[in-house]
Chain A
Amino acid sequence: MSKRKMENTRLPVGECISQVQEMLRERLCHQQLPDRPEGVEAQHKHLLELLKRTAVHGESNSVLIVGPRGAGKTMLLKCVLRDLQEEKEAQKNLLQVHLNGLLQTDDRIALKEITRQLHLENAVGDKVFGSFAENLAFLLEALKKGDRSSSRPALFVLDEFDLFAHHKNQTLLYNLLDVSQSAQAPIAVVGLTCRLDVLELLEKRVKSRFSHRQIHLLSNPTFSQYLQRVRTQLSLPDHFPDRKFALDWNASVETLCEDKSVEDALRRHFNSSKDFRSMHMLLMLCLSRVSVAKPGIKPADLVEASRMSFADAKANMLHGLSILELCLIIAMKHLNDVYEGEPFNLQMVHNEFKKFLQRKSNSMYKFDQPVILKAFEHLQQLELIRPVDSSLAKTQREYQLMRLMLDHSQIMEALQKYPQCPTDVKQWAMSAFG
């Protein structure tokens, strides 16, 4: 299709919307790579340079990418690898091994995975033969045989690097870093982690073999950058089939970002967390409301989505409790106030509740002990109260010491929102040491 023709195509609205959904969902949910990494140009250049030296010149290297969750570590690495693939020589030469600390939970599994991904001789299809010792010896042999000029360079990517440091004796890390130190086959070890103290986890011999090269991704965007990010995440690219729709959409995103209420909501998010993933979640909630009937994101959508993601989950759960359970929680609150956070058992709670009943002389809440026990156990199931020690079979149920996992203000707030809360219960909650 020629360019002129593209510009003239008009698609029906439903088609456009589904295109928008597809594109933006890929971006927000699937963590699609951007064309250029934003805000991390220096790190990108550094890493690309480093890996290029391994891929092209056969230099051995090790590097750690450190940053909080959602800071774009994997994105950076993937961008670098994509750019590296453009280089002819690197593309031809480089072998890649991807390991993840979540999946390769011990060295044996990791070693098999390495053998499999390198297609060594003792791997047939995706089956790997031999014991751990044999595999290790084989792998080291294969790496040792090579040298800088003749063998193909290998890139080891260790995602969740800190979990590899919990392996026994850190054998894998030791061997990989040892190879990267000595003049054997050229390898680059890239670790990704969210722990700033990751070097403290390494054993001394492992640490001394590591090059101590770290790339920090401590992104600290200003609010205007954050807003800009929202804009770029939501706007449609130039190659969208229907140009007219894309332009309208982008203009509506622009007006959305200038809206006062939207800015307030976004600032609240910005103040609670600067990482982009929580922003993606917010935008995803907005995007899911876009439909044929409502083609475009309105400020109200974003405010609603923000309200949804800021909702207090415990308050939501308190809303669904029965009156009896709520009364027990109030009794626990009073006990907490009187005895300054000492743990309590069912007997004390029941006693406190009985005091309330005597005061009120209201027969409406006269419940038997077993009914109360059932309500108490339901609260325990919801983990709103938690036993102090976990020896369940040891003591009788009514004498087991518990702690309330709610805070004073949460209870009072829940009480305000509770549908048809009896007035005397409310007053009881307010009274005493409130």
Chain B
Amino acid sequence: MSSLLQHPGHEEESLQRVSDQLPCREVQAGTLLSLMGQPHQYSYPSIFIYGHRSSGKSHVLHVLLKELELPHAPVSCVECVSVALLFEQVLLSFFGADAASLLPRSPSLSDFVRVYRNQCSQSPAEQTRYIVMEKAELLRDADANLLPALLRLQELVEDNVTVILLSEIVWDKFRPNTGCFEPLLLHFPDYSKGELQHILSHDRHPSYSAEFYSSYINILLGVFYSVCRDLRELRHLAALNFSKFCEPVVEGKVKETDTHKLWRNMEPHLKKAMQTVYLREVSSLQWEKMQQMEEKESGALRGLSAHTHVELPYYSKFLLIAAYLASYNPARTDKRFFLKHHGKIRKTNFLKKNEKTSNHLLGPKPFPLDRLLAIFYSVVDSRVAPTASIFSQISSLVTLQLLTQVSHDDQLDAPKYKCAVSMDFICAISRTVNFEIVNYLYDFL
């Protein structure tokens, strides 16, 4: 494999070390290396690398630049909340701390380029300098000039510098509307199933044989591959569940080679893992603890989303119910549901053509305050006075994000609201006050 990574200007040993660290990424590393050229030669001003999450973009670059000892500045755009931090980071890694301190307090691009030029006239580049920007999609939200300027930085600072942008998002979504210097596009393809298997089999437990571990990986991929191709996620899941997989072998019930029995033992467990630990319903630590307690069925522990029960005051509950009814029922049907003498109207009579799709598919509709109060009075049995407490409960439901206020134009006069709770939640609430909400919902008529 190392034959792919032959390049003049770099030592054979370090190239060998690079190719050892990059399984299944030799082609991409080779392309990158040949684009970079020999260290003293010019490289293309900007390179844009895109690919899925954990397809080895930053890993390949990191290994290449580190092992070949090329001068580089790693910049994470998440960390650089202001451009000043970005400039400082770049100057710091190229010219040392003195250069970074030369920047004024809130530096502009002009200051950065000036300081950079000054410094590089003192210490001109013998090797290509690389600026590696991770999560480059965040650059779009920064100053409009930043991205075009970075793309032509080589020309602006007149130094042998190459900017490498890494992103999950395709280049078409980056291009500013007046255009810019087009970078060289490079794609890192996703790992195939075989490659995933190969990489995941690398970190096997030393006390078990390679075949045993790779059959485990095979089962794991069989369950998770259709949902998740993220190497990091898969690796995490593999590490978490391995102890459960070896359990029968440790107990001596099954031999290592009996794959079928191992699979039968493992598969339901992994399916459960997809519903819990993959969604972070249950933290990894809890999951490990659960595996140790054998008698307790895993998943019996309530996850994060099971804790939806909220204790509310009596009127708040009815206000929320009223809001839910107002959101999911069309206003025309209010008369039929909430008036005493409405006459007999069958559903088919007021079923409009475009209303065949249920409201629970389209989401909540906004409603005015008056309608909320009208429904509230008719669902609450006792007589309620419209006191300040009722109104403050409405606004506190908004701050709890159980309701949302839609139009911002007016705070006092005729505000509009939307209900932002799920069906399960409102059913649980209405059960506590003995209210059959399903009877009042237009969709379930």
Contacts and interface: CB of A to CB of B under 8 A. Distances in A.
A22 interface: yes
**Size range of the interface on A?**
35 or more
Contacts of A371: 227, 274-275, 278-279
A231 B275 CA distance: 61
B407 to A, nearest CB: 11
A383 B364 contact: no
Nearest to B357: A348
B20 to A, nearest CB: 22
A347 B110 contact: no
5 contacts: A309-B185, A314-B172, A345-B363, A347-B362, A348-B361
Contacts of A393: 401
Contacts of A345: 361-363
* A-B residue pairs, 10 tightest by C-beta: A399-B363, A320-B190, A313-B170, A103-B110, A288-B34, A323-B226, A320-B52, A102-B149, A29-B42, A25-B42
Interface of B: 6-9, 31, 34-35, 37-38, 40-45, 50-52, 55, 108-110, 113-114, 118, 143, 145, 148-149, 152, 154-156, 168-173, 178-182, 184-185, 187, 189-190, 192-193, 225-229, 274-275, 278-279, 281, 305, 360-364, 401, 404, 406, 418, 420, 422
Given A288-B37, A395-B363, A395-B404, A103 B109 contact: yes
A105 B108 contact: yes
Contacts of A26: 41-42
B179 A126 contact: no
A22 B44 CA distance: 12
Contact of B228 (A322, A348, A382): A322
A313 B110 contact: no
Main DSSP-derived SS at the A contact region:
helix
A35 interface: no
Contacts of A322: 225-229
Contact of B184 (A116, A285, A398): A285
Contacts of B43: 25, 29
A130 interface: no
Contacts of A37: none
A101 B156 CA distance: 12
B145 A316 contact: no
Interface string A93-127: 00000001111110001000100100000000010
B84 to A, nearest CB: 14
A399 B44 CA distance: 45
A69 B179 contact: yes
B34 A30 contact: no
Nearest to A381: B168
A219 interface: no
A87 B442 CA distance: 88
B169 A383 contact: yes
Contacts of B45: 29
Main DSSP-derived SS at the B contact region:
loop
A25 B34 contact: no
Contact of A103 (B37, B149, B281, B418): B149
Nearest to B303: A370
A22 B41 contact: yes
A292 B8 contact: yes
A365 interface: yes
B363 A100 contact: no
Contacts of B52: 317, 320, 382
Given A320-B51, A396-B422, A25 B406 contact: no
Interface hub of B45, B154, B156, B182 (most chain A Cβ within 10 A): B182
Given A102-B148, A320-B55, A371-B227, A347 B178 contact: no
A370 B279 contact: yes
A429 interface: no
Nearest to A364: B226
Interface string A16-28: 0110011001101
Contacts of B154: 29-30
B4 to A, nearest CB: 11
Interface stretch (A248-256, A258-266, A276-284): A276-284
A113 B110 contact: yes
B305 A370 contact: yes
B50 to A, nearest CB: 7
A419 interface: yes
A414 interface: no
A194 B310 CA distance: 60
Given A103-B113, A351-B361, A395-B418, A29 B108 contact: no
A200 to B, nearest CB: 14
B23 to A, nearest CB: 18
B443 to A, nearest CB: 12
A289 B34 contact: yes
A21 B168 contact: no
A433 interface: no
A21 B182 contact: no
Interface hub of A21, A29, A100 (most chain B Cβ within 10 A): A29
A267 interface: no
B227 A375 contact: yes
Given A313-B50, A314-B170, A348-B361, A319 B114 contact: no
Contact of B363 (A104, A367, A396): A396
A102 B227 contact: no
